[in-house]
C-alpha cells in the first residue's frame, strides 16, 4: 500500500464537489432542525393536551428510531405514497427532522431556564404572547443554548455520510465511487477523513469560544 | 354614588385541594389606597395575582370599571374570558413584584419603554422622554443606560415601579415590594411609593409586612386570615383599636418582632 500524491490530486475535484454537497446538506439540515425544533418545543408547551402530547409522541418516536431508517423511509417508502423527493431534499428533511427532536430538548431546557417572573412581568406590562416570546423569552433563552446547539450541529455534520445511502452525492459517496472505479481506497478515504477532521477541529475551537462567550449568560 | 373601580364578589380560589380564598367580597373605590395585611398564606398575594390575571379563579366574579374580568359576553351569553379579553382588561392594571422581575437583557430605559411602544403605539421618542421623567421621579435619572444587573435591589425596585407607571394603569398592585430588599434599601422604595400615593389619584393595592408603612400609606386596611377578610377599616382603627381577636394577636406578634405599627 503506497500513497500516490498524483492520484490524490487527481481525485480532489470530485471529492471537493462532494464536500460542497456535504456542507450544503449540513447547513440546510441545521436550518430545518433549528426551526422545526423551536416549533416542537413551543407545541410541547401548549396548553392543548392533544397538541402537547401528540408532539411529545412524535418527538419520542423520531428520536427512538435510527436516522438511517428514517432516511430510507423518506426516500424509498414515501414514493409509494406518491411523494417523490430529490435525494438531497429527502436527506435535508430527514436530518433536519431527526436533529429537530434534539434541538427541541435544548430549546425546552433554555426556555424553562427563564424564570416564571419574566413571563409574569411580560403579562403585567400587557405584552401579548408573540411579543413575550420575541422580546422577553427567546432573547434570554437562546444565548445559553448556543453551545449545545453547536454541538448537535457538529454531530449532524459528522452523520452526513449516511446520506450516501440514499444516493446523495456527498463527500463519502464520491469517495466510494472513486474507490470503486480505481480499486484504491487509501487516498479517497484518507482525504475524506482529513476534510472532516479539518472542519471538526475548527468547529471545536469555535465551540470553546461560544461556551466562553455564552455559557454563563442567563446564570 | 360612583361605581367601584374594583368589585370582588364571592371570589373562590383553590390550588388543588387547598382553598386559599373562600367567598371573598370587597369593593375598591377609584383612587383608594388599600393595604392588605395578614399572616403568610392568608391569600393576600393571591388576590393581587388574580387581579393581574396571573392566576385563574376557581369561582365568583370580579369587575373592573363595571366590566367582568374573568367573564365576557358573547352573543348574549356570559362565557369564561378568553386570552383576548384578559389582554384587553390587563391594560387597566399594573403590578410591581417582590422580586422586581426586570428584563435582564434590556437597559433600564428599555425596560420602561418596551411595553408602551409595543402595546400602546407610543412613539419611541415620546416613550423615552416619558421614561426619563419617570426615572427622574424615582430618583434614577442617571441610570437610564445601566443594565438591571448593575443596580442595587432598591434601585431595581424603583425601576420596576417606573416601568409599571409608564403604562399609566388605573390600578397599581404592589406585592410585598420591599420583602426582598436589604433593610437599608427599604426606605428609598417606600419613599417613592409614599409620594406616588400622595400625588396621584391612581387606585393602589398594597400587600405588605411593613405595618408602619401600611399605616402611613393606606386609606383603608384589610386584615386577611385564611382567605377571608377578618376586619377592615381606617389604619388608625385597625392598628390602634382592632376589634377582632385574630387581628389583635397578629398585631401583637408583629410588635413583638420589633416593628412599628
The predicted-structure confidence for A113-166, as pLDDT tens digits, reads as follows: 999 999 999 999 999 999 999 999 999 998 889 889 999 999 999 999 999 999
pLDDT category at A212 given cuts 50, 70, 90 is confident
Res A217: pLDDT? 43
Least confident stretch, A23-37, B158-172, B177-191: B177-191
Q: At residue B1, does pLDDT exceed 70?
A: no
> Among positive and negative, which fits the CA dihedral A29, A31, A33, A36?
negative
B51 contact A CB<8A: no
- Which residue from B minimizes the CA distance to A120? B54
The model's pTM: 0.84
ipTM of the complex: 0.92
Contacts of B118 in chain A (CB under 8 A): 127, 131, 135
Backbone angles phi, psi at B55, to 5 degrees: -130, 150
Contacts of B52 in chain A (CB under 8 A): 120, 123-124
Three cell numbers at B156?
Answer: 431595581
> Among positive and negative, which fits the CA dihedral A117, A120, A125, A130?
positive
Contacts of B164 in chain A (CB under 8 A): 124-125
Q: How far apart, in whole angstroms, are the C-alpha atoms of residue A130 and residue B252?
A: 49
By the 8 A CB rule, do B60 and B12 touch? yes
Cross-chain Cβ contact A124/B83 below 8 Å: no
Domains of chain A plus CATH, in order, are 5-214 (1.10.3720.10)
pLDDT category at A218 given cuts 50, 70, 90 is very low
Mutation target for A interface from B54, B92, B101: give the one with most A CBs within 10 A: B101
Contacts of B54 in chain A (CB under 8 A): 120, 123-124
Q: At residue A215, does pLDDT exceed 70?
A: no
User: How many other CB atoms are there within 10 angstroms of residue A51's CB atom?
Assistant: 14
Interface of A with B in 134-193 (CB under 8 A): 135-136, 139-140
Res B27: pLDDT? 95
Contacts of B114 in chain A (CB under 8 A): 125, 127, 135
Res A211: pLDDT? 82
In terms of Cα–Cα distance, which of B182, B54, B174, B166 is closest to B108?
A: B166
Cross-chain Cβ contact A120/B97 below 8 Å: yes
Instruction: Give the closest of A118, A127, A129 to B101, CB-based.
Output: A118
Q: At residue A85, does pLDDT exceed 90?
A: yes
What average pLDDT does this structure show over B34-38? 94
Q: How far apart, in whole angstroms, are the C-alpha atoms of residue B138 and residue B158?
A: 6
Contacts for B125 with CB less than 8 Å, ≥ 6 apart: none
Dump pLDDT digits (tens) for B141-155: 999 999 999 999 999
What average pLDDT does this structure show over A33-48? 92
By the 8 A CB rule, do B48 and B96 touch? no
Res A207: pLDDT? 85
Side-chain-side CA neighbours of residue A217 (13 Å) = 18
A128 contact B CB<8A: yes
Cross-chain Cβ contact B90/A139 below 8 Å: no
- Which residue from B minimizes the CA distance to A122? B115
Cross-chain Cβ contact B115/A123 below 8 Å: no
Cross-chain Cβ contact A124/B52 below 8 Å: yes
Res A192: pLDDT? 94
pLDDT category at B40 given cuts 50, 70, 90 is confident
Task: Give percent above pLDDT 70 in chain B.
Answer: 99
Mean model confidence pLDDT for chain B: 93
Backbone angles phi, psi at B37, to 5 degrees: -125, 165
Q: How far apart, in whole angstroms, are the C-alpha atoms of residue A150 and residue B155?
A: 38
> Among positive and negative, which fits the CA dihedral B244, B249, B255, B259?
negative
- Which residue from B minimizes the CA distance to A139? B105
B118 contact A CB<8A: yes
Instruction: Give the closest of B105, B118, B164 to A127, CB-based.
Output: B118
Contacts for A118 with CB less than 8 Å, ≥ 6 apart: A136, A137, A140, B101, B103
B157 contact A CB<8A: no
* Cα separations in angstroms, A219 against A4, A37, B75: 54, 23, 49
Cross-chain Cβ contact A139/B105 below 8 Å: yes
Amino acid at each position: 500500500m503506497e500513497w500516490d500524491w498524483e492520484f490524490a490530486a487527481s481525485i480532489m475535484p470530485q471529492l471537493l464537489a462532494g464536500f460542497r454537497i456535504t456542507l450544503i446538506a449540513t447547513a440546510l439540515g441545521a436550518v430545518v432542525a433549528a426551526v422545526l425544533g423551536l416549533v416542537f418545543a413551543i407545541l410541547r408547551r401548549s396548553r392543548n393536551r392533544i397538541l402537547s402530547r401528540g408532539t411529545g409522541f412524535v418527538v419520542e418516536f423520531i428520536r427512538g428510531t435510527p436516522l438511517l431508517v428514517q432516511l430510507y423511509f423518506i426516500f424509498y417508502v414515501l414514493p409509494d405514497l406518491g411523494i417523490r423527493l430529490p435525494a438531497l431534499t429527502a436527506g435535508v428533511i430527514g436530518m433536519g427532522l431527526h436533529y429537530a427532536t434534539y434541538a427541541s430538548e435544548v430549546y425546552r431546557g433554555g426556555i424553562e431556564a427563564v424564570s416564571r417572573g419574566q413571563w409574569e412581568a411580560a403579562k403585567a406590562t400587557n405584552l401579548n404572547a408573540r411579543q413575550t416570546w420575541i422580546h422577553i423569552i427567546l432573547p434570554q433563552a437562546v444565548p445559553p443554548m448556543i453551545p449545545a446547539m453547536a454541538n448537535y450541529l457538529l454531530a449532524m455534520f459528522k452523520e452526513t455520510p449516511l446520506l450516501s445511502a440514499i444516493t446523495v452525492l456527498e463527500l463519502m459517496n464520491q469517495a466510494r465511487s472513486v474507490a470503486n472505479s480505481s480499486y484504491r481506497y487509501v487516498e479517497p478515504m484518507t482525504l475524506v477523513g482529513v476534510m472532516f477532521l479539518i472542519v471538526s477541529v475548527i468547529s471545536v475551537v469555535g465551540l470553546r469560544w461560544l461556551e466562553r462567550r455564552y455559557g454563563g449568560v442567563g446564570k | 354614588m360612583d361605581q367601584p373601580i374594583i368589585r370582588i364578589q364571592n371570589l373562590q380560589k383553590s390550588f388543588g385541594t387547598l382553598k386559599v380564598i373562600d367567598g371573598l367580597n370587597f369593593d375598591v373605590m377609584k383612587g383608594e389606597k388599600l393595604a392588605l395585611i395578614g399572616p403568610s398564606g392568608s391569600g393576600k398575594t393571591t388576590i393581587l395575582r388574580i387581579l393581574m390575571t396571573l392566576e385563574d379563579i376557581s369561582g365568583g366574579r370580579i369587575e373592573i370599571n363595571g366590566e367582568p374580568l374573568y367573564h365576557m359576553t358573547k352573543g348574549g351569553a356570559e362565557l369564561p374570558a378568553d386570552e383576548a379579553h384578559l389582554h384587553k382588561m390587563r391594560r387597566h392594571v399594573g403590578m410591581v413584584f417582590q422580586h422586581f422581575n426586570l428584563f435582564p437583557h434590556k437597559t433600564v430605559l428599555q425596560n420602561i419603554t418596551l411595553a408602551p411602544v409595543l402595546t400602546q403605539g407610543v412613539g419611541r421618542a415620546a416613550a423615552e422622554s416619558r421614561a426619563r421623567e419617570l426615572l427622574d421621579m424615582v430618583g434614577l435619572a442617571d441610570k437610564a443606560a445601566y443594565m438591571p444587573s448593575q443596580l442595587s435591589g432598591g434601585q431595581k425596585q424603583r425601576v420596576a415601579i417606573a416601568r409599571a407607571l409608564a403604562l399609566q394603569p388605573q390600578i397599581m398592585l404592589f406585592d410585598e415590594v420591599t420583602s426582598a430588599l436589604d433593610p437599608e434599601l427599604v426606605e428609598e422604595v417606600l419613599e417613592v411609593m409614599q409620594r406616588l400615593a400622595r400625588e396621584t389619584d391612581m387606585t393602589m393595592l398594597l400587600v405588605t409586612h411593613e405595618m408602619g408603612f401600611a399605616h402611613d400609606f393606606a386609606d383603608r386596611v384589610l386584615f386577611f386570615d385564611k382567605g377571608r377578610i377578618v376586619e377592615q377599616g381606617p389604619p388608625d382603627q385597625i392598628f390602634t383599636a382592632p376589634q377582632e381577636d385574630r387581628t389583635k394577636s397578629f398585631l401583637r406578634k408583629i410588635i413583638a418582632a420589633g416593628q412599628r405599627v
